[in-house]
Structure 1
C-alpha cells in the first residue's frame, strides 16, 4: 500500500491532500488513541452542537458527493429522509467493496476505522437515526476484526451507545459480514441481504429513503463518503471546497493498480489527471507504455493514452465518455490483450449475475461464449456484431446496474480496439505473447 504523506515542495506529490490517509503509516493508526492524536471526534463534537437539519445543510453546502460510484450529493441523499413520520430511520454503510480494481474502502477501514465510526454518528444525528449498520465484505476478516475493535473502543469512550457526549443521542452500531456476493454492492440487494434474504435488487420506487431497511426510511452511503464527513465538520465546508473543482469539490482516494511502478492509494483533490498520478507513482513499469485504463473499475468504459490529461472528476471523466465510479484506475500496458481482459471481466459479471432479469442472466452467458471463441481464434466476423448487439440489449435494459457494468467494457473496447478483435479472427488466435504480460498466470502459460 503506497500512501505519501511528506512531500517536497517541487515534487509531483505536492498535489496530494492526505486527510483520510494522513496517518495510515503509523504503527497504531487503527486505534482510538492514534485517532485522538489527529483531531479524532472533534468534528462530532461540533456536529452535536448543531440541529440535525443544520448538519444536513452544512454537508450539502460542502458539495460532498458520494464516493461509491454515481457521485450523488451526500447531503441531498440525507435530506430525502422524511421527518416526523413516526418510523425508525436507519443508516447503512455499504462496505461490500467488490468491483474489480476497486480497493480503497478496505485499506481505509483497516488503517483508519474510527473515521467511519465518527462519520456514522454525525450522519445518524443528522437523519435522526438510532441504529446504523456496516455491511462489510465477509472475506476481509482482518478488517472485520479491526472494525469490531474500533466499535468496541467507541462504545467504551462514549461515542456510541446511550446519550452520546451528553447530547441525548442514542445510537447502536451493528457490523454485519456479508457472504461475498458482488450483487450485494447494489444498495437494494444489500438491504435484502441485511434482512436475511437472498441478495437481489428491488424494484424502485419505493426508494430506500422512503422504504429501505425493514420498510423504513434508510440512507445507504459508501464508506469513503461517510468517512469524509468528520473532516468537513471539523475543518469547515470552505476548506473542503478549496480542493477539487466547482462541481466536484474536495479530496478523494484514487486506487492506482496494474502495470504501474508503484501501485497504491493516492489521496488527492478531485480533478487531478492520470498523467499527474503516474508521475507520482513512477509511471508505467520500466520499458512499457500505457495502452488502456479504467477510471472507476471494470464496470466503467475504458479509456486510452489519449485521455491522460482528462480531469479525474465526475464532469471531466463523463465528458470523455466514461464514469469516475470508484476511482479505481487500472492501468494496462501494450503487452495486454484487450480481448482477453474484456473476456475475463465478462466472465466475472456472468458469474456474479443474480439471475433475476433475463437481459443480464442470458446476455452475460452468451457474451462469455462468444468472447471465448474470439479469443481462442475460433470466432467469425459476424460474431463481433452479435457481441455488440447482445451488449446493447443488456445496457440500460437490465434490472440493476450490473448489466450496464458488463456491457461497458465491451462497447468501449470495440470503440478503441475493434481492430484487435478482428486480428484474433483473421489470425485464428491471440497475437499476444502470454510470457510478456502479467495478465496470465504461470499455469495458463504452461498450458
Structure 2
C-alpha cells in the first residue's frame, strides 16, 4: 500500500507535460478514440463499474450521478467542471490543471459524450491566472487538433468547451452557487430540489463534477473498470491525489491508492519537519474534523475516515506539529469562513461571525468556560441548518478541536493568554522550539 500510483501525475516531471505534444507522446487522447467507438451508455456503465467516487469531497459515485439525468427532458444537457478550488489546505486540482491540462480536457470530452452533452464548461478560480492561461491554451490546441468542435475525429459528435473564470468567492465551490455565477448572477446556493441533474445550468439537466473526477475518466476508459478497482479498497476504489502541506519535510502531491494511511504517506514524505511531534492534522481540508497522532493508521478511504469521526474530503492533509496553538489555528480557519459566507442564511452568516468573536477572545486569554459551551451551542445551530455545506464545514474544526483539545482552550483563559510563543511557533514562521 506504500507504493505510489502515478496516473494523473505520471508526466508531471516532463518539461512539456502541459503541451498537446507532450500529452499525446504519453498516450494522450487515445482513450477518446476508444470512447467514441463505444455507445455512451456503455461508458456510463464502465464508470459505474469502476466505483469512481467524486474527488471533490463528497465522494458520491460518479457514474450514478451521470445516470440521474432525465431521459425525457427537452432541454440541452450540460457538463460543468468545478475547478473553483479554494478551501484552506486543498491544493490538488490547481497543480493538476497546471501540469496536465489536457487530461482534464480529454476527460471532459469523454464525459460529455457519455452523458450526451454538446456543451461543457470548466469553471476555474479567477485568481489562478497561470492555470487559466494553461487551460485556455489546451482548449485552443484541442480545437485545432480536431478533439473539440464539430464532428470530433469524424465521429459525428459535436462539443463546445468554454473555460469560465470566477471572481474568487469560496461559496462558488458549492455546485448550485457555481451555476448561478456561471449564469451571470451573484454566486449563492440554490434551494434544492430541484437538483442540478434535473434543472441545473440554464434550467437544463446538468452534471457537475470535480476536476480530479473528470480527469480520472480517460484512464478508466483506456484500462477498464477492473484495472481501477484493483487499487484502493472495496468501497473506495482507485487512486487519488493526497496533498501533504504544513509541517512535513517534503510537502507536495502524493498520488496513491485510497486506503493508504498518513503514517505511510509521512514515511514517504520524510516525516514531520524538524523531527517534531505530530499534534493534529486534517484528513480532508479545513472543513473536516481534526485528527491527532492516534489516527495515524486510519485507512484514508471514505468509510474508514468516516467511522473514525471525520471525512476524507479532498484529501488535503494539513500537518501541524507540537509548537502550534490549536486555538489560533481554528481562529484563522473561522476568520476565513466568516469572510467567505455568502450571507444568504442566518445560521452561517451569524454563526461564523460569532465564531470569530469568541475565538478571538479565547485566543487573547480573555475567554471563559461559558464561551466554550457557547461555541458548541452555536455549532448545534449551524450544523444541518445552513443553506449549504459551508456552514457545516465551518463547525468541523471548532467542535473537533474543543473535543480533542479542551484543556488547551482552558489554559488560555486560566493563564490569561496563549501558552504558545508565536515567535517560536513554526506555524507563523518563527524558529522551532
TM over 0.5: yes
Q: Say which SS state the counterpart of residue 233 (structure 1) adopts.
A: helix
Aligned partners of 2:74 and 2:275: how far apart in 1?
Answer: 64
CA 1:291–1:326: 2 relative to 1, 3 Å: same
Corresponding residue of 2:98: 110
Structure 1 residue 386 corresponds to structure 2 residue 392: no
Identify the match of residue 131 of structure 2 among 116, 138, 143.
143
Identify the match of residue 322 of structure 2 among 334, 340, 357.
334
Structure 1 residue 131 corresponds to structure 2 residue 105: no
Corresponding residue of 2:234: 246
Corresponding residue of 1:7: none
Cα shift at 1:287: 2.8
Aligned partners of 2:384 and 2:413: how far apart in 1?
Answer: 29
Identify the match of residue 63 of structure 1 among 47, 51, 54.
51
Cα shift at 1:54: 1.0
Structure 1 residue 33 corresponds to structure 2 residue 21: yes
Aligned partners of 2:398 and 2:35: how far apart in 1?
Answer: 46
Within-5 A mapping of 1:189-338 = 189-338=177-326
Aligned partners of 1:392 and 1:439: how far apart in 2?
Answer: 30
Q: Say which SS state the counterpart of residue 303 (structure 1) adopts.
A: coil
Cα shift at 1:436: 1.9
Contact 2:2/2:265 (<8 A) preserved: no
Q: Which runs of 5+ in 2 are unaligned?
A: none
Identify the match of residue 172 of structure 2 among 175, 180, 184.
184
Corresponding residue of 2:35: 47
Corresponding residue of 2:157: 169
Corresponding residue of 2:74: 86
Corresponding residue of 1:406: 394
What does the per-residue CA deviation read over 1:153-212, in whole Å, with 9 as the maximum and x for residues that have no partner? Answer: 100111000011111110000000100000000000000000000000000000000000
Aligned partners of 2:18 and 2:284: how far apart in 1?
Answer: 27
TM-score (norm 1): 0.95
Cα shift at 1:86: 2.1
Corresponding residue of 1:366: 354
Cα shift at 1:84: 3.7
Q: Which runs of 5+ in 1 are unaligned?
A: 1-12
Corresponding residue of 1:9: none
Structure 1 residue 353 corresponds to structure 2 residue 341: yes
Contact 2:279/2:322 (<8 A) preserved: yes
What does the per-residue CA deviation read over 1:361-405, in whole Å, with 9 as the maximum and x for residues that have no partner? Answer: 011111111110000011111111111111111111111000001
What does the per-residue CA deviation read over 1:10-58, in whole Å, with 9 as the maximum and x for residues that have no partner? Answer: xxx9610000000101000001111111111111111111111111111
Q: Say which SS state the counterpart of residue 198 (structure 2) adopts.
A: coil
Cα shift at 1:441: 5.6
Cα shift at 1:244: 0.3
Corresponding residue of 1:153: 141
Cα shift at 1:217: 0.3
Q: Say which SS state the counterpart of residue 150 (structure 2) adopts.
A: coil
Aligned partners of 2:428 and 2:109: how far apart in 1?
Answer: 45
CA 1:353–1:14: 2 relative to 1, 3 Å: closer
Contact 2:365/2:415 (<8 A) preserved: yes
Aligned partners of 1:21 and 1:300: how far apart in 2?
Answer: 25
TM-score (norm 2): 0.98
Q: Say which SS state the counterpart of residue 439 (structure 1) adopts.
A: helix
Contact 2:2/2:264 (<8 A) preserved: no
What does the per-residue CA deviation read over 1:229-273, in whole Å, with 9 as the maximum and x for residues that have no partner? Answer: 000000111111100000001011000000000000000000000
Q: In terms of mean alpha carbon deviation, does 34-43 or 102-111 score higher?
A: 34-43
Runs of 4+ in 1 over 2 A off after TM superposition: 438-442
User: How many residue pairs were aligned?
Assistant: 431
What does the per-residue CA deviation read over 1:330-386, in whole Å, with 9 as the maximum and x for residues that have no partner? Answer: 000000000000010000000000000000001111111111000001111111111
Contact 2:79/2:121 (<8 A) preserved: yes
Structure 1 residue 415 corresponds to structure 2 residue 419: no
